[in-house]
Amino acid sequence: MLLVALAITACNNDKKPAKLDSEDAKAAYSIGFMTGKSMSGQLPKLDVANYQAGFDDAYAKKAGSLTQEEMKTVLMAFETRMKKEAEDKHKKDAAEAITKGTAYLAENAKKAGVKTTASGLQYEVIKEGTGAKPKATDTVKVHYEGKLLDGTVFDSSIKRGEPVSFPLNQVIAGWTEGVQLMSVGSKYKFTIPANLAYGEQSGGPIPPNSVLVFEVELLDIVKP
C-alpha cells in the first residue's frame, strides 16, 4: 500500500495541487508524502515518470511493457548497481573524512586550553567542578550535545531537556576515557578522533570516520 502511495504522489512539472477535500484524500496524501520522503532517501535517482507509468499499467490491469522475467532480471541488476554505488560512496566519504579529520585534529591541538591524551582524545575545560571523578564501571548522569565538524548537531540531551544516565563502560571509547577526567559539576568539550568514536561505521547523520565534538556536563555519579 505504501509503494502504491508513492506512485500517487509521483509528480512531473505539470502536477496539479492536491485536492484535500475529504478525510480519505488527506489520508492518501499523508501516506504518499511520508512514503515519498522515505523513498527519496533510498532511491534519489528514481525515474519517477517510468515508475508512474508502471504503476498506471498495473493498476489498470494492463499487460506490462516488460515480462515478469524481464522485470526480475532488470531489478536484480538495478539492486546490484545501487549497492555498488552505495559502497563506492561509503569508501569515498570515509577517505575524505580521514583527511579532513586529521587536519582538524592537528589544528585544534594548537588552540589554547586544548589538551591531548595519549590516545589522541582532545579536551578543554569549560567549567571545572569540585565533585568526585567517576570510574569506568560507574553509571553517570550527564547533559551533552554532539556535533559533526561542520556544526551539525546530531544528538543533544540539552535540546530534549532531559539528562541521560548510562554505564560509562558501555559508550564509545572517547566518552569512557574523557568523562573519567571530569569531576561532578564539570563541563568539558571533547574532540574525539574517529577511532575513539564509531570508526568506519556510519549511522544516521554520522558519516564514516567522523571526528565528533561533544560538550558534556557531568551532573552526577549514579549510586547503585
Catalytic residue numbers read 144, 154-155, 172, 198, 214
- How far is the C-alpha of 6 from the C-alpha of 40, rounded, in Å? 10
- How far is the C-alpha of 8 from the C-alpha of 32, rounded, in Å? 6
Nearest to 18 by CA among 33, 35, 36, 37: 33
Residue type, 187: K
Residues near 87 by beta carbon (within 8 Å), at least 6 away in sequence: none
User: Is residue 144 a contact partner of residue 157, using CB atoms and an 8 Å limit?
Assistant: yes
Characterise 103 by phi-psi region: left (phi > 0), alpha (psi -120 to 50), beta (else): alpha
Reading the block at residue 134, the C-alpha cell is 567517576
SS3 percent helix, strand, coil of the chain, rounded to 5, is 45, 20, 35
Burial of 81 (0-12, 13-18, 19+ CB in 10 A): exposed
Reading the block at residue 112, the C-alpha cell is 589554547
